[in-house]
Structure 1
Amino acid sequence: MNSIVEHLPIDKASEAYCGTIVYSPGGKYGPRDQEYLQLVLLHTGRLNVTIDDTCHSVTPGHAVLLKPGHREYFEFADDQETWHRWIAVRVPGFEEEYEAKLNDLPFILPISAELNKLTDLMLDMKTGTSSESPQMRCMGLAALYQFSYEHSREGGMQHVHPSVMQAKSFIHERYAEDWTLNELAEHVNVTPEHLIRLFNAHENTTPIKYLWHYRVRQAVEMLSATDHPVAEISQRCGFKSTVHFSRCLKQRTGKSPSEIRREARNYK
């Protein structure tokens, strides 16, 4: 069944925002009254979100859909930092016109590679681009379309293999540790060769490449959102040394740690 989200034209969306943030251990946010259709992508840590007195627990590697007209309160992990990214689209009058038609969409889904890429692109675009611009509104709606599509795909198309989901969740929670392919495969009870085949089929990459990509993503976020020394970020994200850290960032982003941090500060 198609969701009403898939039929929202761009002129129904008045603006779209995106962001990324790292909360310190024990962080809290709210309460607030939700005014947007918002996707929250949880990458590390833990999240408990209370919506109209009902508490939902969210683990890393999942995206949740928040709907307008509800009261929300967020509580983050007590023992570690929590990193999440978000996309929010304002649709005036949404709760009156559309909310009853959104019941077919789930609250939570695994974060797909496609949804991650859309979030990356929207974050890259937002500097110097108005939240009311056609570009930002289109990207915000595209993320909502993708979430809706992935829900419909679960019913009739190939679902992500449980071993891939287990491995990704494990990586998200313990990416700083020194994992080998054999250890990851043993953790999810498959052979290393089979885990490689599964990741190639579902993620278009290998488990170890996924791990390094995730480490780089987390490191870029820490450089952008915190004042932690580069050496500390390197260690916390699982790199072998600051030299190795700088080389990996340069290969994958084209920028050094100092360039990433300087650009992030210039944008604030």
Structure 2
Amino acid sequence: MIVYEEFHFGKEKHIAFYHPVDFSHFAHLHRSYELLYLKQGGLEVTVNGKAFLMHAGDMVLVLPYEVHSYRDLGGSVCDVAVFSPDYVQEFYSQTVHHFLACPVFRMEPEQIRRLEALLFYDDSNLFLTKAALYETVACVLSQTELKYRKEEDRDLLHRILLFIRQHYREELTLQDLAEELGYSRLYLSRYINRFLKLSFPDLIHEHRVCQAIYLLEHTAMPVSEVAFDCGYSSLRTFNRCFKRVTGKTPREYREEH
């Protein structure tokens, strides 16, 4: 399952941080950078289909619109910062059409202490936080290389996913998307498959199922209402799609969560 996340940092705030334990997260992408520091345990991170093994002390930097996921390998304790490209505009201008050959890297203990003080736990000093971020990206670039990405139009991916997010309850077709964005159906179909390895209908189903998961976990809505609220006119279709994505029926999922 691939989920598109939009981070809303708040007025004049361009960074968010959290501290997960036993951390696993299904495949997702967003417009922001994501920096994770593995303090303890083991973690497998997958970025754009390539898996990397992380040990305590490792860090990973995920670039905007890169599909990524995490799998806990036992006792993972992490610091995570998600920050807007607007925060590091000079770095963004270098990476917008590129990817990191290896996104996993390490920093010196003193550098880590600065990050924890200025980024992962307190971002109240704008200039010190920016300095910590630029020190981090400089460290990344000293340990790996930027490679050119042939597919340049990442903004189009954002527009596609935003359109689906806004209209997933409706009966969407590829023609609707083509008319909204001004591209041919064939081009958009190939584009979505190239970036996300999904068909347009499957992308819609995955977004609907993601919304259904949230409702099943956080509300007492009957399964039938969840189905209709997420854009399914048929409960049978909802059950089939939900199980195909998660491996469980909606009722089984709710019972386990």
The TM-score, its normalising length taken from structure 2, stands at: 0.52
Superposition map of 1:5-24 within 5 A? none
Query: Are 1:181 and 2:174 matched, yes or no?
Result: yes
CA contact (8 A) 1:175 1:238 kept: yes
> Relative CO higher for 1 or 2, CA cutoff 8 Å, sep ≥ 6?
1
Superposition map of 1:78-157 within 5 A? 89=37, 91=39, 109-110=64-65, 112=66, 114-115=67-68, 118-119=69-70, 122=71, 125=72, 129-132=74-77, 152=95, 154-155=97-98, 156-157=148-149
C-alpha spacing 1:153/1:175, structure 2 compared with 1 (3 Å): same
Instruction: Give the aligned partner of residue 62 of structure 1.
Output: 30
1-structure distance, mates of 2:33, 2:192: 26
1-structure distance, mates of 2:192, 2:4: 20
C-alpha spacing 1:237/1:256, structure 2 compared with 1 (3 Å): same
Instruction: Give the aligned partner of residue 201 of structure 2.
Output: 208
Alignment RMSD, CA only? 4.0
CA contact (8 A) 1:160 1:202 kept: no
Structure 2: give runs of 5+ residues left out of the alignment: 17-27, 41-58, 83-90, 99-147
1-structure distance, mates of 2:4, 2:174: 24
Structure 1: give runs of 5+ residues left out of the alignment: 1-40, 68-87, 93-101
CA displacement, residues 126-168 of structure 1 (integer Å, 9 cap, x when unaligned): 8xx5334xxxx6xx89x9xxxx9xx846243122454333111
2:236 counterpart letter in structure 1:
V
CA contact (8 A) 1:43 1:172 kept: no
C-alpha spacing 1:194/1:66, structure 2 compared with 1 (3 Å): closer
C-alpha spacing 1:240/1:66, structure 2 compared with 1 (3 Å): same
2-structure distance, mates of 1:61, 1:203: 10
> Tell me, what secondary structure is at the counterpart of 2:197?
coil
CA contact (8 A) 2:38 2:76 kept: no
> Tell me, what secondary structure is at the counterpart of 2:64?
strand
2-structure distance, mates of 1:258, 1:237: 16
Superposition map of 1:245-256 within 5 A? 245-256=238-249
Superposition map of 1:164-175 within 5 A? 164-175=157-168
C-alpha spacing 1:180/1:109, structure 2 compared with 1 (3 Å): same
2:5 counterpart letter in structure 1:
H
2-structure distance, mates of 1:157, 1:89: 26
CA contact (8 A) 1:196 1:206 kept: yes
Shift of 1:209: 1.7
| Same amino acid, percent of matched pairs | 24
C-alpha spacing 1:225/1:209, structure 2 compared with 1 (3 Å): same
Instruction: Give the aligned partner of residue 47 of structure 1.
Output: 8
> Tell me, what secondary structure is at the counterpart of 1:255?
coil
2:10 counterpart letter in structure 1:
V
Shift of 1:230: 1.4
Shift of 1:179: 0.6
Instruction: Give the aligned partner of residue 215 of structure 2.
Output: 222
Shift of 1:243: 2.1
CA displacement, residues 38-70 of structure 1 (integer Å, 9 cap, x when unaligned): xxx8636x72335xxx33499x96254578xxx
1-structure distance, mates of 2:164, 2:219: 22
Shift of 1:224: 2.3
1:157 counterpart letter in structure 2:
R
Count of matched residue positions in the alignment of Structure 1 and Structure 2: 165
